[in-house]
């Protein structure tokens, strides 16, 4: 059962819903509005793509994904966000049921403008963690309260979480979501994303699977 972080639970409402045909099949798309975002640079509107009926579902395959305009829209090679999103959607389609939560938390929660400012520092040789710190920003400002509330609203009982980030799993558990397993997301790498992924492994605690770790080694 969802337990809010503090105070009164912000209002959660479905403000739009429609079927969404995709290359992986037709998903049910819901747009949720959740309270007020932590920054004016972020949107209060989040998306849930569901395949099959999530109500009372146990052992449900779930991806909680944060927005990345640079990677998902402009095909940036600096990160693996688009590949992870597509891999998760394909995995849910292959299983025949699941939920993909898309949170509007650009740049690990710092917003698009700050993210691009951090990119400029990365172009000078700083890694993603140090770039954020030089800007006076946290390493990771994401909040998963909206995701927990959305999964609860959908009636999901327990999940298998697709992520390489143990902190995301812990955050959802702390918010009352029953996570019964974590599945690694294996994607390809390139010379631009290899250092970024290595920084996530070494400095942010991401548990990259062996195949991806080997790919990073090949790209270095």
140 annotated active-site: yes
Tokens 């998903």 sit on residue: 27
163-195 pLDDT per residue, tens? 988 889 999 999 999 999 999 887 777 666 566
Domain span including residue 205: 189-220
The tally of domains found in the chain comes to 2
Q: Higher-confidence residue: 29 or 188?
A: 29
Is 202 part of any domain?
A: yes
| Percent residues over pLDDT 90 in the chain | 59
- pLDDT given for residue 210 in this prediction: 52
- The reply to whether 47 and 72 lie within a common domain is yes
Residue 115 lies in a domain: no
Are residue 100 and residue 168 in the same domain, yes or no?
yes
Claim to verify: residue 19 and residue 76 sit in the same structural domain: yes
Name the band, by pLDDT with cuts 50, 70 and 90, for residue 120: very high
Res. 32: pLDDT tops 50: yes
> Does 118 map to a domain?
no
Instruction: Judge whether 6 lies within some domain.
Output: no
Say if residue 198 is in the same domain as residue 179: no
Hey, what are 220's tokens?
A: 């270095």
Which is catalytic among the residues 30, 63, 108, 142? 142
Would 92 be classed as within a structural domain?
Answer: yes
Write down the pLDDT at residue 69.
Answer: 95
Predicted pLDDT of residue 10 = 63
Q: In terms of domains, do 39 and 49 share one? A: yes
- 57 and 40 both lie in a single domain: yes
pLDDT of residue 140: 86
Residue 108 is a catalytic residue: no
pLDDT digits (tens, 9 = 90+) for 189-214: 766 656 656 666 655 556 665 544 44
Is the pLDDT at 75 greater than 80? The verdict is yes
Residue with the bigger pLDDT between 200 and 102: it is: 102
Same domain (yes/no): 175, 198:
no
Structure confidence by residue, pLDDT tens digits, 150-165: 999 999 999 999 998 8
Q: What is the mean pLDDT of the chain?
A: 84
* Same-domain status, 180 and 208: no
Structural contact between residues 169 and 161, judged by C-beta atoms closer than 8 angstroms: yes
Indicate if 53 and 148 belong to the same structural domain.
yes
Q: Are residues 18 and 88 in the same domain?
A: yes
Shared domain check, 193 and 176: no
Annotated catalytic residue, options 80, 108, 117, 140:
140
72 within domain boundaries = yes
Q: How confident is the model at residue 129 (pLDDT cuts 50, 70, 90)?
A: confident
158, 207: one domain: no
7 in any annotated domain: no
- The alpha carbon torsion through 106, 109, 114, 118 (nearest 10 deg) reads -90
Residue 101 domain flag: yes
Residue 172 sits in a domain whose CATH number is 3.40.50.10990
């Amino acid at each position: 059962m969802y337990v809010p972080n503090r105070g009164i639970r912000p209002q959660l409402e479905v403000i739009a819903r429609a079927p969404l045909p995709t290359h992986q099949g037709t998903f049910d798309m819901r747009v949720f509005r959740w309270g007020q975002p932590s920054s004016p640079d972020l949107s209060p509107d989040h998306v849930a793509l569901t395949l099959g009926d999530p109500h009372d579902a146990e052992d449900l395959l779930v991806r909680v994904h944060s927005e990345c305009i640079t990677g998902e829209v402009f095909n940036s090679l600096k990160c693996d966000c688009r590949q992870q999103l597509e891999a998760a959607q394909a995995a849910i389609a292959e299983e025949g049921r699941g939920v993909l939560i898309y949170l509007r938390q650009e740049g690990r929660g710092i917003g698009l403008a700050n993210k691009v400012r951090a990119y400029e520092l990365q172009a000078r040789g700083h890694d993603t963690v140090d770039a954020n710190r030089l800007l006076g920003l946290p390493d990771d400002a994401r909040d998963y309260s909206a995701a927990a509330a959305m999964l609860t609203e959908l009636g999901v009982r327990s999940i298998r979480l697709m992520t390489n980030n143990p902190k995301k799993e812990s955050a959802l558990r702390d918010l009352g979501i029953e996570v019964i397993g974590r599945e690694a997301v294996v994607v390809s790498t390139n010379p631009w994303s290899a250092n970024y992924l290595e920084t996530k492994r070494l400095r942010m605690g991401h548990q990259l699977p062996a195949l991806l770790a080997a790919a990073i080694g090949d790209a270095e």
